[in-house]
Amino acid sequence: MIDIQNLTYDYPGRRALDNVSAQIAPLTITALVGPNGAGKSTLLRICAALDRPFAGSVTIDGLDVHDDPRAAHRRMGFLPDFFGLYDDLTVQQCLRYRAQAQGVASSSVVAAAQRAAERLDLTDRLKEKAGTLSRGLRQRLAIAQAIIHDPKVLMLDEPASGLDPEARIALAAVLRRLRDDGMTIIVSSHILAELEDYSTHMMIIRDGRLVDYAPLGQAAQTLGRVRLRLDLADRSDALETALHQIADLTIISLDAGHAVIEMADDSLAHAALLKTLVGQDFKVASFAPDRLGLQDAYLTHVKSGAPQKITAGGSAGVSLQ
Amino acid sequence: MIGNPEFTRNLWLQFSWQRVLAAVVVIGILYYAGTATGEFATSTMANAGRWIFNIIIGFWGTRRAADALAEEVAGNTWETQRMSGLSAWQMVWGKLLGGTAYPWFCALLCLALTDIVLLQAGANASDLLILNLDLILSGLLAHAVSLGVALLLLRKAQLRRRLMVTFAQICGLLVYGNTIIGDLNNALRGPETVVWFGNAYHTALFHLVSLAVFCAWAWFGLYRLMRAELQYSNVPWVWCAFLAFAMIYAAGLADQPGQTIAAILGAPVGLGVILVYGSFLAEPKDAVRYRWGLAAFRQGNLAKALTFLPLWLITYVVTALLALVLIALLPAQPTAEIGQTWLASWWQEYGPHTRIMLAAGILFVARDLLFLLLLNFGQWRQRADIAGILYLLIAYFPLAWIVAFVGGPHLLSLVLPYDSGNAVLTFGPVLVQVAVLAVFVRQRWRAQAVPAAIAAA
């Protein structure tokens, strides 16, 4: 769906993006994460054809976005981090203007505005002026404007900043619904907890380089390791000693009744560990892969050292080499 | 509305029944007060009507034109607009006519009532038509200039300050004022003619056609600027065409009966120098973009390299070449063939030195550009142009005076184009300045590059 090839972009005295390549599969929600100044917003702006790269290309659904930015904009929606609304227009006028500006046929403008309002639960606000809306409603209106032409790709830069918890939960539900409706979404944020609610993939960018791009929950697997969670029916202080005796096993977290460990992605090794624990009379209640949290995955990769080269491929649309 | 959502949006924002009614009532009362009492002469009424038109279009309209962009930037809606599917042309006319729609409504109402008064008094309809077209075209040109300057300031990341919006407004206002002065001159001169390339044209008609052509250039230039803002690549052929047009237009005005080719060529060279500085100050001096252009050139991708070519560089090269032609055409000794215009009076005083000073002048322009470029590649690039102009003004005026006072006139060639009677003393200092500044500019340029980019460049 989105093919990013060797993107390079410079600011005076600094390389903002350094040969970034990735292929983003359709119907995914990619969390674009990284420290401040890593290049997230620059990457999004280039993908949205708001800036031109020094080298490289971005293709969305077969169209090079920098060859014809306006045609590309009809296929994508973008919500910048600091967005504005026309406060003196009503919600309905905002949506109709946006529909026309995005090239929706005149005969379909009213229907498109109505559909966008329904998707974002704004139908009861159509007559209100945008300037009178709360922060959460303004965010919803901005997203409604970004998706009014039913784009195949939606990019959002820090969409949840300034939202209260309820509005954030609502935003997560909206994004999941949009993905189910057929959109491919990229969300940039430095608040990892919010991204975890709806992201299917994580793209880590640091110092202008792509560190990792992988499906969530499988990030550790891509390194040949798997994370497992162990729960005991009876707490036992001996658990730590027993786990320390197992070779090639890393303890992520541990207390007397639970442990999260990381070890080789080898089912025979897992069976052997389980057999050992049961043999030592630990009352194992559950032993299963632990879905790697986005924050854990991010920290794992940030701590893991040098950036890795990312290439496209694999059934999920991405793989690591 | 006519297929342009940007125009429609502006109408939504500016036109309400209350505002339309208010305009009609206020202007109608003023008109009625002027005509019903019968105390004012028709000419007084006409003048008042036109001045109200001038104030509305000159002050209010130019502000609205600049604000059509500035409000988007201040309200954080500009990025959203750039993400829309609107074409550059839709954006340009949607903002220019939409953003100024209400001032135009009020101003045209005044003009219509003024015309009614004049027609009732027996004014010539065709003269009135020419005058109305003149005023309307002046307004369209002034608004295009205001919006164009706002766009240029946006490219230089300087449109967030209200002072800069006022600057854009003033630029439009100056253009409007200039065209209005042109109208007044025409009125005073009556049926006099303008000579252009030796042919006589009716002054009012020549003014109107010139205005229409410059207005078309301004709108087309605006379209190209908007394209650049929307991330489309622009090969600078439009600027080259405008440069050629402006120089030919100026040469046409200089081509009075009895002039030599050298005298005629003086006008485009002078205009070229103004456009060199103008385009330099208008463009962002982005070291990164220059590097991209150079990289494209080295890769043999000329089409891409041309899109990064600074307009000021094109203008400088063309002007310098024209100056060289002028130097070759100018006679070495004073002669009566030089003509009767400003160049003739110049010739009386500086005649034998003119060729040398022209050559030195071209080098001094290069020095100024390098100096300004050096400041733009430094840490204070946001203020580089303003600071640079100030330093250059100091160098050209007080410093030149001090040098002449302290060291004698023969040392003037240190700070400005001056024939010292010695080629080394005339050209040596400016050549040294150009060389030293070129080295410094290169150093700063390389200091801004990331290591990989230095290797590539």
Of A34, A49, A30, A133, the closest CA to residue A84 belongs to A133
Q: What is the pLDDT of residues A241-280, one digit of tens each?
A: 888 888 788 887 788 888 888 788 788 888 888 998 898 8
User: Taking the CB of residue A57, how many other CB atoms lie within 10 A of it?
Assistant: 15
Q: What is the mean pLDDT of residues B275-282?
A: 95
The reply to whether B427 and B324 lie within a common domain is no
Q: What is the mean pLDDT of residues B310-334?
A: 87
Please judge whether A89 and B6 are an interchain contact, meaning their C-beta atoms are less than 8 angstroms apart: no
The reply to whether B190 and B262 lie within a common domain is no
**How many percent of chain B have pLDDT more than 70?**
90
What pLDDT shows up at residue B452? Answer: 55
Of A254, A316, A204, A302, the closest CA to residue A262 belongs to A254
The reply to whether B2 and B150 lie within a common domain is yes
Q: What is the mean pLDDT of residues B264-284?
A: 93
Tally of structural domains, chain B: 3
Instruction: Return the DSSP state at A281.
Output: T
A221-289 topology per CATH = Alpha-Beta Plaits (3.30.70)
Q: What is the pLDDT of residues B103-133, one digit of tens each?
A: 999 999 999 999 988 888 888 888 889 889 9
Q: What is the pLDDT of residues B206-251, one digit of tens each?
A: 989 999 999 999 999 999 999 999 888 888 999 999 999 999 999 9
Q: How far is A144 from chain B (nearest CA, A)?
A: 12
Q: Does residue B171 sit within a domain?
A: yes
Partners of B8 on chain A (C-beta within 8 Å) are 97, 100
Q: Does residue B51 sit within a domain?
A: yes
What pLDDT shows up at residue A309? Answer: 39
Is any Cβ of chain B less than 8 angstroms from the Cβ of A48? yes
Please judge whether A70 and B230 are an interchain contact, meaning their C-beta atoms are less than 8 angstroms apart: yes
Is residue B295 scored above 80 in pLDDT? yes
What pLDDT shows up at residue B289? Answer: 85
Q: Lowest-confidence range among A161-170, A311-320, B165-174?
A: A311-320
CA distance B128 to B134: 10
- Per-residue CA distances from B132 to B54, B111, B112, B219, B328 (Å): 12, 8, 9, 20, 46
Q: Does residue B328 sit within a domain?
A: yes
Please judge whether A97 and B9 are an interchain contact, meaning their C-beta atoms are less than 8 angstroms apart: yes
Domain A2-218+294-303, CATH among 3.40.50.2300, 3.40.50.300, 3.40.50.920, 2.40.50.100:
3.40.50.300
Q: Does residue B239 sit within a domain?
A: yes
Q: What is the pLDDT of residues B193-208, one digit of tens each?
A: 888 988 899 888 898 9
**Residue A185, both tokens:** 């979404």
Domain span at B222: 1-230
What pLDDT shows up at residue A220? Answer: 45
The reply to whether B220 and B238 lie within a common domain is no
The reply to whether B403 and B344 lie within a common domain is no
The reply to whether B394 and B347 lie within a common domain is no
Is any Cβ of chain B less than 8 angstroms from the Cβ of A138? no
CA distance B49 to A75: 50
The reply to whether B68 and B207 lie within a common domain is yes
Q: Does residue B363 sit within a domain?
A: no
The complex's ipTM works out to 0.81
Locate the chain A residue with the closest alpha carbon to B292.
Answer: A54
Please judge whether A100 and B77 are an interchain contact, meaning their C-beta atoms are less than 8 angstroms apart: no
Question: Among residues B171, B195, B230, which one ends one of the domains?
Answer: B230
State which of A192-201, A243-252, B269-278 shows the largest mean pLDDT.
B269-278
The residue ranges of every structural domain in chain A are 2-218+294-303, 221-289
Partners of B455 on chain A (C-beta within 8 Å) are none
The reply to whether B36 and B160 lie within a common domain is yes
The reply to whether B442 and B329 lie within a common domain is no
Is any Cβ of chain B less than 8 angstroms from the Cβ of A10? yes
The reply to whether B129 and B56 lie within a common domain is yes
Q: What is the pLDDT of residues B400-422, one digit of tens each?
A: 888 888 877 778 888 888 887 78
The reply to whether B42 and B171 lie within a common domain is yes
Partners of A77 on chain B (C-beta within 8 Å) are 83
CB burial of B34-68 (b: ≥16 within 10 Å; e: otherwise) equals bbeeeeeebeebbebbbebbbebbbebbbbbbbbb
In chain B, which residues touch A (CB < 8 A)? 5-6, 8-9, 12-13, 75-77, 79-87, 230-232, 287-288, 291-292, 295, 447-450, 452-453
The reply to whether B104 and B247 lie within a common domain is no
Which of B80, B288, B448 lies closest to A83 in CB terms?
Answer: B80
Is residue A170 scored above 70 in pLDDT? yes
Q: How far is A223 from chain B (nearest CA, A)?
A: 30
Question: Among residues B202, B230, B258, which one ends one of the domains?
Answer: B230
Locate the chain A residue with the closest alpha carbon to B88.
Answer: A70
